[in-house]
Amino acid sequence: MVGLYRVKGKCMDVAERKTTLERFGLTHLGAVHENLPAARLVEAAVRRREGMISSSGALLAKTGKRTGRSPKDRFIVENRLTRDTVAWGAVNKPFSPEAFDAILEKASAYMENLDEVYVVDAYAGADPRYRLNVQVVTEFAWHALFARQLFRRPDREELRSFEPEWTVISVPGYLTDPEEDGTESETFVGVDFERKLVLICGTRYAGEIKKSIFSVLNFVLPTEHDVFPMHCSANVGDDDDVALFFGLSGTGKTTLSADPERRLIGDDEHGWSDEGVFNFEGGCYAKTIDLSPEKEPQIYGAIRFGAVLENVGMDRKTRQEDYTDRTLTENTRAAYPLEHIEGAVPEGMAGHPSAVLFLTADAFGVLPPISALTPEQAAYYFLSGYTAKLAGTEADMETEVEATFSTCFGAPFLPLPATTYATMLSDRLREHGTRCYLINTGWSGGPYGVGERVDIAATREMVRAVIGGKLDDAVTEKDPFFGLNVPKEVPGVPTEILDPRETWSDKEAYDEQAKKLADLFRENFQKFEAEVSDDVREAGPHS
C-alpha cells in the first residue's frame, strides 16, 4: 500500500497524519496497528504464530538464537552530543552517523515489505517532569505487547495529544551484514542521541527494547536534570520507608522487592530526584528459572493473561509451563504490567529511600550474607558491582564459577563515566542519611557445587531488619578479608550463618577462596583508582 497507512482497519492518506514513522523513511508500509489493547495483541501474536497461550493465560514466545542481550552488538552514534560526553570503550562503542543511516535505510526497506507493523506510544518515567515520550515500532505483535506492558501506558486522553520524543524501531527479521555494515554480527543495536532514535536489528530478545531506553535515560537524566538513574528495584512500606535493591541478573533483585508486606514501586529501573524515587517502567521483567508459588508468590501470581513468557518450557499438550526447563536458556523471563502485582504503587513514585541494598550472588561462597557499609564502602562496592556467573549461563565459561564486575550494577547501560553515577549515589546517601548494606544471596558453607544457597527466607528477614532500622545499633564484627562490618545478630536469622568462614568445614579452603575473591576485587578496581578519593580506594578488601 504505497503512500497509505492502514490504522486499526482504516486507511488514511500519509499526509493526513504526521508521525515519527515518516521522519525515518517509513512511509510505504502495510497495515499499521497503533496502540492495540493487550487482548488484540495476544490475538494477533497467536494468529501470526509468534507464540502460544500457556495454561496460565500468558503468551509464550521464543526468541531463537538470541536468548539475552547482545552487549557486543550495541553502538552509540558519535556526534556533537556524544563525542565529548560518552565514556567510549568496550561498552560504549562509537558508530558513524553515515553507517547508522545506511543500516536504517535497509531496515526501512525491509519493513516496507511486511504485511503488518505494530506501534506502541508510551512513557518512560513516572515523574511527569522527567518522563520521555517513546514510540516503539516493531514487526512482531508480541514485541508490541511486551513494550505495552513494560513501559508506562498513557490513557486515552493522553494518547490524543501524544507527541513522540524518542523512537525505537525494532526489526528482528532484518539481519545486518558485518562486512558491509561495520557491525560485529547480524545483530545491531544502535542509539542516536541527536536524532533520538534507537534501531534494533537481528534479535528477537524483547529486553533490548526496554534496555535501550534505559541507556537513553542514563544519559539524559544526569546531564539535563541532575536526576540519578538507577538499575534497581524499589518498594515502600506502610511508614513510607522506601528501599532500593541494586543487583545484577540472578541476585534476587526482583524476588526480594516483590514482598507481600510492602508495596512494589518497580522491579528494575528508577530515578532518584530532589523529591524522591520514581519508576521508569509500567511493568516488571522477571527471571523465571525455577519459579515457584512457594518462594516467589507475587511473581508467580502475576503470570496470567496479558503477561509474556520468553523461552519458558511448556508441555505442548497440556500447555503447562515448566519453569525448571533450561533447554533454551537459564535466562527465561516473564514480562507483566505492574497492576498484576497486588498492592503495587500505581503512580510509580515515592519519597527518598531509607535503605539501599546491594545484592550479590557470591558463588565463591565467601562473602557474609549481610554487611553494613560505610559511605566509602558503598561507593567502592557500587563501582565494583560484583556477582558471580555459574557454569552453563555463558557459552564460553572455562570454570565452574567466574566473578562478574558490572560497574554500578549496570555497566552495559551507562553511557557516562562510572564515577558520575557513583558520586550521585554517595551524595544522596549522605544528604538523606540513607543506610546501605551488602546482601549476599549466593552460597554459604562452600562454593557453588559444594555449599548451599542462602535460604531465601533468611535473606528476607535480613532485608526486613535493615529496612526496619533493627540493625542501626547492632554490634558488628569486621570481616578479615573484605573489611565489611558484619552484624553478630539479626532478628529471625540463625547466628551460625552470619560468619561465612564458620559455615565451611574446611577453614583453610575458605581462606584460600576468600583471598582469591579479594584479589579479584582489587584487580578490577584498578581502573577507578585515579578517579576516586583515598578513602574510597581504601574501602575495599585489604588482605
Residue 43 to residues 47, 373, 435, Cα–Cα distance (Å): 6, 50, 47
| Whole-angstrom distance, CA of residue 433 vs CA of residue 429 | 6
Check: CB of residue 231 under 8 Å from CB of residue 409.
yes
- By the 10 Å C-beta count (0-12 exposed, 13-18 middle, 19+ buried), 240 is classed as exposed
DSSP annotation of 152: B
β pairing state of 10-13 and 485-487: unpaired
Per DSSP, what are the bridge partners of residue 93?
Answer: 75
List CB contacts of 527: < 8 A, sequence separation 6 or more: none
What is the DSSP annotation of 193-249?
A: TTTTEEEEES---THHHHHHHHHHHHHHIIIII--EEEEEEEEE-TT--EEEEEE-T
Max CA distance (Å), the chain: 76
- In angstroms, rounded to a whole number, what is the distance separating the alpha carbons of residues 31 and 78? 34
What is the rounded CA–CA span in Å between residue 54 and residue 352?
40
SS3 content of the chain, % helix, strand, coil (to 5): 30, 25, 45
434: which 3 cell numbers? 540513607
Which helix H or strand E contains 43, and what residues bound it? helix 38-47
Q: Give catalytic residue positions.
A: 69, 211, 231, 249, 253-254, 268, 333
> SS3 for 445?
coil
- Enumerate helices (H) and strands (E) in the chain, giving the number of each: 14, 32
Q: For residue 365, report the phi and psi dihedrals to the nearest 5 degrees.
A: 75, 25
Adjacent-strand bridge partners of 95: 77
DSSP string covering 315-372: -TTT--EETT--SS-S--EEEEEGGGSTT--TT-EE--EEEEEEEE--TTS-S-SEEE
Are 285 and 333 contacting, i.e. CB atoms less than 8 angstroms apart? yes
**Hey, is 456 helix, strand or coil?**
helix
Say which amino acid occupies 468: G
As a dihedral over the C-alpha atoms of residue 310, residue 314, residue 316, residue 317, rounded to 10 degrees, the angle is: -140
Residue at 357: amino acid letter = L
Q: How many CA atoms lie within 13 A of 324 on its CB side?
A: 1
**How many whole angstroms separate alpha carbon 395 and alpha carbon 398?**
9
